[in-house]
A and B are shown apart, each in its own frame.
Chain A
Amino acid sequence: MEPNRAQQLAAQGYSSGRAVLLAVCQELGIENEAIPKIATAFAGGIGGRGDVCGSVVGSVMAIGLRHGQQEPWQQCDKAYALAQEFCRRFEQEMGSLCCRELTGMDLSTPEGRKAHMSSDVPIRVCLRAIGTAFDVVMELIERPDPPAADD
């Protein structure tokens, strides 16, 4: 299968959070000096701590960019509903949202990162997570008329 835009960026060296956020923004024609810088430290979870996968954080940021609130009084129900749906579908496809569980590795140490880079995990797991996140978030963001949320 042809790699999608986020996977192509990842292959160029963009880490998961930056790859997904930048790919969505390119797709939507959003150019901004904060993108993808703002997602820098979301790789290997948060700064390598192994929490929520960077491609999930990048996707939730992208949902905020498209459907988020600029002022406190604006509604954010749509962004929340989409983010929840995104997480459910990512979890269904990948089994987990969590970097540690997805990779089965500890990326918080230099040794751990070396082991990660010399394994097949970046291709087998991370690239798939990045591709999945991008496909799911683009579908959700561009869906013209989402069914009314039950909650």
Chain B
Amino acid sequence: LLAVCQELGIENEVIPRVATAFGGGIAGRGDVCGTVVGSTMAIGLRYGREESWQPRDKAYALTQEFCQRFEEEMGTLSCRELTGMDLSTPEGQKAFYASDVPIRVCLRAGGTAFRLVMELIERPDPPAADD
């Protein structure tokens, strides 16, 4: 999230604080990978709605495309499946940090997410969504 905002020149006191508890899924629970959540936030910042009457189709379409492509490259959106580890316990976290997973998996997920989301956000004229 911070990387995309730096890239786009968005400075805001809530960034990256708002994404704090999305590590290891939601606070270690192993659900959706934090890089996916951060990317979806970034798409919202760029194409999201301030008011309810504004359209959100573009943010939705980009998010769906992002998820599809992340899944293609990384195999899954899920922290548990990506890492193959349980980050919900102190023992699990210790084992995680002592392994090569942070570099081999998480760093790659972060890099993939950043590359994909920047490409999608900056794409000048996206093809019309089918739905």
Contacts and interface: CB of A to CB of B under 8 A. Distances in A.
Nearest to B44: A40
B60 A65 contact: no
Interface string A95-129: 00100000000001110000000000000000000
B18 A65 contact: yes
Nearest to A65: B18
Contact of B17 (A56, A68, A80): A68
A151 B18 contact: no
B131 interface: yes
B40 to A, nearest CB: 5
A48 B28 contact: no
Interface in B33-51: 36-37, 40-41, 43-45, 47-50
Contact of B21 (A12, A13, A47, A60): A60
B56 A87 contact: no
A110 B52 CA distance: 19
Contact of B32 (A51, A70, A80): A51
Contact of B67 (A38, A47, A60, A110): A47
A40 B49 contact: yes
Contact of A34 (B12, B28, B43, B67): B12
B90 A151 contact: yes
A12 B32 contact: no
Nearest to B47: A40
Contacts of B66: 47
Contacts of A56: 26
Nearest to B12: A34
A34 B131 contact: no
Contact of A46 (B27, B67, B90): B67
A65 B19 CA distance: 8
A41 B40 contact: yes
Interface string A48-81: 1101100011001101110111100000100111
Contact of A37 (B13, B20, B44): B44
B12 A32 contact: yes
A70 B17 contact: yes
Interface of A: 12-15, 18, 30, 32-43, 46-49, 51-52, 56-57, 60-61, 63-65, 67-70, 76, 79-84, 87, 97, 108-110, 151
Pairs A-B, 8 closest by C-beta atoms = A68-B20, A40-B48, A47-B63, A13-B52, A83-B27, A64-B20, A40-B44, A37-B48
